A and B are shown apart, each in its own frame.
Chain A
Amino acid sequence: MFYLAISSSQPDFKPESLTPRFMLWRPGIWLLDLGPVWAYWCHQAGSHDLHDLHDLHDLNGLHGFLRQAISALAGQGVVAVLDANPWRALLGMEVMCERGLNGFVSAQNALGRNLVNEASWDIWFRLADEVAAHWFGTRRERFNLQVFRRQARQMALGMERLGIRKPADLGGIPALAIRRRYGAPLHDLWLWSHEAPSAPGALGAPRIDDGSPAGFPWVLWRQEQAIQVKRHLDSPLLEWEHMEIVLREDVDRLCALLNKQGAGRILSLEWRVVFLDLSCLVIPIRFRHPHDLPAEFPHYRTALLQACYAFEDAIPAAMGAAVDLGVYEKAIGSWDLMVTEKINLPPVMRDLFGSVRAANEAEATDDAEGVAKYRLQQLENRLSVPLSAYEVTANWIPEEGYKNVQKNMQPNVEPYTRPSLRALGLRRPLFVYPKPRSSPQPTNQSRAWVFCERIMDKWWRSGSASGQESTQRDYYMMRDQEQRAVWVFKDGAGKWYVHGMYN
């Protein structure tokens, strides 16, 4: 659930308070990508949840938090819909506007899903025309606006003749049939309207290199002038130890510029270095959680650590290219350091939600949990590798039995399922292979076997029912040649796999 469509009549509404990635869909309508700050807002909602919403599970806590934040920023008359897919978020928002509803709705709830499914053809084609205008503006390949409009008229006529009242009723038609009859752009829109949020290849899932959703006409809004400092080095530098001192001064200059704009959190910086041969290298410096850069005066340890990791990753490749070009000296002569992604925290949010604060503020209020969370976020920002936190889900398929809570905010497991899940978990090993490894059929069956469980795949999902995938697995504990206890299974086709190890 990463995209938020907001309709606000408030002229001073600032989407950058919620995320650095947003676009103006049309005057008064904003589309926000909450992906880069999702974990941050989950953390904030979690600490808020501890104080006021402890009876509700995490997802409701986050939704409640977003509801209050959006109301505070965009006024009470705001219409906002959250969905994993920007197209469906826009559809839901249009339905709410048409019915005169306002407030915040998430498509993860039944109400939100029903709203999207209730979209009429009028809304669908109106939004399709707006998407087409954006595609035209962003120069989508092999896209002709006139052809698109003609095909859309044909499709509208076809739906009327077939008596299909709304787009949700068209779900059973194969995607290829739409593509063949009405062209690729309408096929894409049809697909986005009906895809499951978690489906492979869903609009909410894949992202191209610049972070925008694949295929969607995303035009990133750049409102402010870039906050940027430039450095011309007196003598060329190559070693990180030498550069660190100078870069620290530049981060300090950057903070002075940032402070003029009030409270903010940085998500990414761009370090554009220029070598003596005038070639450039752009080194992105990213933070896992929105980072309070000025708070680390004067050492700026977090930012410099991330810069060091990015530098060490990027420079060997650049050096390799330099050797290919025959350039032996590849020293850095100058650079630019600029803020590329940040969120602004207006005073109104800090007042409403005490959870948006630094550790020293939490310490002052004796909030040990708040301090621990803040320190953990700070630490994660300083590491070159991510730390993973998991949550168990009510699912018997081993690969789907857990989720990474940094990326997903799923409802907690219902209490009545816990005994079953515990019984399942006790028979399973602590360590598994990411993908089961094919194994020859065990020859020596005299080695003792312990039958663990038989599970069935979700045969009703596409593929399984048609026999393309095996639907049954029999799991055993057994000893391998080296006398190690391994977790193996035999699938419905009689093939053997090693899935885990009892270490």
Chain B
Amino acid sequence: MEQFKVPYLYMVTRFTSQIPENMADILDQHGVRPASSLGGVAPDAIQFGSGNVALDEFLEGGLATGAVSEWGMPAGQSLREIALAVVGGATRREMMVLWVNGQDGLDVYPPAWSARGVDLRFIRFVTANKPLEVLKPVFLEPVFRLMVLDSPKHLGSEEWAFIARQARAMDIHVMVLHNFLLSGSRGNIWARLRINGKQRANGWRLEAMRGKAHKCLELTSDILFGLPSLDM
């Protein structure tokens, strides 16, 4: 497996996005850049697209390997349908995907996944609230090119650093889905993309908290899979 050749250095600070422009230029001469500036995808990176033009454009062409994305997806709003569009795209390209289910008391229901275009031959499921404790070997080998950590319990900065480092080293993409909305006041320097999802009258609204440019996307539920409306 090819790995990134560029020696990326990250500013490990909470205020990276607020570095004055002149200071950023000076640091850039020394090869020090904030993580948010790494919007450019490495030439050999794979991008996991959903097959939906608007969503893929919103995701800057798809979720690139070597990075981590963080999603705020409150429960009971069908927002994981959006994550599933990306997962389905990866499995259709015959790439192995691991879905780590940390939702209390809920199991995955595979027929619904299959109906939404996920090829079940290329996805594995595991239940773990603390994925780094029980699944460490998974992060050390590039078997799964896309990993989804659904509702992990309390990821500390050490864990985030480990996930981001391994995503880069193993050339995989890690999606971290939370059952709550992400806060704009408290950032996460390890995630290249931070997106909040909200349910709207006939679909969803995605708001990028972090990315190349802050932007929004309105999606209707029937666009992705021809789903029935949940608007009641």
Query: Which residue of A384, A390, A398, A427 contacts B125 across the interface (Cβ within 8 Å)?
Result: A390
Chain B residues with Cβ below 8 Å from A486 are 76
Whether, in the assembled complex, B168 has its beta carbon less than 8 Å from a beta carbon of chain A, the answer is: no
Query: Is B112's beta carbon under 8 Å from chain A?
Result: yes
B110 within 8 A of A: yes
Q: Pick the contact of A383 from B105, B111, B112, B135 — CB < 8 Å?
A: B135
Dominant secondary structure of chain A at its interface with chain B: mixed
Please report the C-alpha to C-alpha distance between residue A429 and residue B141 in the assembled complex, in whole angstroms: 32
Residue B64, interface by CB 8 Å: no
Residues of B within 8 A of A12 (CB): none
Selected interface stretch from A89-97, A196-204, A265-273, A475-483: A475-483
Q: Is the CB of A425 within 8 A of B112?
A: yes
Q: Encode A415-429 as 1/0 by CB contact (under 8 A) with B.
A: 000000111111111
Separation of A432 and B232 alpha carbons in the complex (Å): 21
- A372 CB contacts on chain B under 8 angstroms: 96, 143
Output the nearest chain B residue to A447 by Cβ-Cβ distance.
B232
Q: Any chain A CB within 8 A of the CB of B217?
A: no
Q: How far is the CA of A387 from the CA of B108 in the complex (A)?
A: 13
- Decide: A448 and B232 in contact? CB cutoff 8 A: yes
Report yes or no: A422 in contact with B106, Cβ–Cβ below 8 A.
no
Interface residues of A in 399-440 (CB under 8 A from B): 401-402, 421-434
Q: How far is the CA of A390 from the CA of B230 in the complex (A)?
A: 27
- Contact of B111 with A386 in the complex, beta carbons under 8 Å: no
Return chain B residues, CB-CB under 8 Å to A305: 137
Contact of A462 with B by CB under 8 A? no
Contact, CB under 8 Å: A424 / B76:
no
Which residues from chain A contact B126 at a C-beta distance below 8 Å? 383, 385-388
B124 & A389 in contact (Cβ 8 Å cutoff): yes
Interface residues contributed by chain B, number (CB under 8 Å): 46
Interface pair A401/B76, CB less than 8 Å apart: no
A294 to B76, CA, bound (A): 49
A426 touches B116 (CB 8 A): yes
Inside 8 A of B135's CB, which chain A residues have their CB?
383, 385
Name the CB-closest residue of A to B73: A503
Is A485 in contact with B120, judged by CB distance below 8 angstroms?
Answer: no
Q: Is the CB of A501 within 8 A of B76?
A: yes
**CB <8 Å contact, A483 and B111:** no
Report the minimal beta-carbon distance from B224 to chain A, rounded to whole angstroms. 11
What is the distance, in angstroms, from A403's C-beta to the closest C-beta of chain B?
A: 9
Which residue of chain A has the shortest Cβ distance to B226 in the bound complex? A426
The CA of A485 and the CA of B84, in the complex, are separated in Å by: 18
Asked if B125 contacts A478 (CB within 8 A), the reply is: no
For the complex, what is the distance from the CA of A196 to the CA of B143, rounded to whole Å? Answer: 39
Given contacts A379-B137, A392-B114, A432-B109, contact A480 B76 (CB under 8 A): yes
Known: A382-B137, A421-B115, A424-B115. A430 touches B108 (CB 8 A): yes
A500 touches B109 (CB 8 A): yes
B96 partner residues in chain A, CB cutoff 8 A:
372, 376
Cα-based distance from A501 to B101 in the complex (angstroms): 14
Closest to B135 in A: A383
Q: Check: A484 CB closer than 8 A to any chain B CB.
A: yes
Whether A433 lies near B105 (C-beta < 8 A) is yes
A: interface residue count bin: 35 or more
A479 CA to B125 CA in the complex, in Å? 27
**Is B220 an interface residue when CB atoms closer than 8 A count as contact?**
no
A429 touches B112 (CB 8 A): yes
- Closest B residue to A431 by CB, please name it: B106
Q: Which one of B105, B112, B227 has the greatest number of beta carbons of chain A within 10 Å?
A: B112
CB pair B134 A383 closer than 8 Å: yes
A432-B78 contact, Cβ under 8 Å, with A305-B137, A379-B138: no
In the complex, the answer to whether B76 meets A390 with C-beta atoms within 8 Å is no
Tell me whether A425 and B116 are in contact (CB under 8 A): yes
Contact A483 B115 (CB under 8 A): no
0/1 per residue, A482-493, Cβ < 8 Å to B?
111110000000
Q: Answer yes or no: B103 CB below 8 A from chain A CBs.
A: yes
Tell whether, in the assembled complex, residue B109 and residue A428 are in contact, meaning their CB atoms are under 8 Å apart: yes
Give Cα A386 to B112, complex, Å.
22
Asked whether B98 is an interface residue with its Cβ less than 8 Å from the other chain, the reply is yes
A329 to B125, CA, bound (A): 41
Known A-B contacts A431-B103, A503-B73; the reply to A390 vs B79 at CB < 8 A is no
Cβ of B228 and Cβ of A503 under 8 Å apart?
no
A375 contacts B by Cβ under 8 Å: yes
CB contacts (< 8 Å) of A432 on chain B: these are: 106-107, 109
> How far is it, in angstroms, between the C-alpha of A484 and the C-alpha of B77 when the chains are bound?
6
Q: Which residues of B contact A450 (CB under 8 A)?
A: 228, 230, 232
Residues of chain A with a CB closer than 8 A to B123's CB: 389
Q: A382-B137, A392-B110, A428-B112 are in contact. Are A503 and B232 (CB under 8 A)?
A: no
Residues of B within 8 A of A382 (CB): 137
Is residue B92 contacting chain A, with contact meaning CB distance below 8 A? no
Q: How far is the CB of B74 from chain A (nearest CB, A)?
A: 8
Complex CA distance for A448 and B125, rounded to whole angstroms: 33
A500 to chain B: closest residue by CB = B109
The reply on A391 being an interface residue by CB < 8 A is: yes
Residue ID in chain B nearest A376 by CB atoms: B143
Question: Is the C-beta of B68 less than 8 angstroms from some C-beta in chain A?
Answer: no
Judging by beta carbons under 8 Å apart, are B75 and A484 in contact?
Answer: yes
Q: How far is the CB of B111 from chain A (nearest CB, A)?
A: 4
Residues in A lying within 8 Å of B, measured CB to CB: 305, 372, 375-376, 379, 382-392, 398, 401-402, 421-434, 447-450, 477-480, 482-486, 500-503
Nearest 8 A-B pairs (CB), nearest first? Answer: A484-B76, A425-B115, A448-B232, A390-B110, A431-B106, A387-B124, A382-B137, A402-B110
Q: List 24 A-B contacts (CB under 8 A).
A: A376-B124, A379-B143, A382-B137, A385-B134, A387-B98, A387-B124, A390-B120, A401-B111, A402-B110, A421-B111, A421-B115, A422-B114, A424-B111, A431-B80, A434-B105, A434-B107, A448-B232, A450-B228, A450-B232, A482-B76, A483-B76, A485-B76, A485-B230, A502-B78
Q: Contacts A383-B135, A503-B103 known; list 11 others, CB within 8 Å.
A: A372-B143, A376-B124, A379-B137, A390-B108, A391-B120, A430-B80, A431-B103, A431-B106, A432-B106, A477-B228, A484-B75
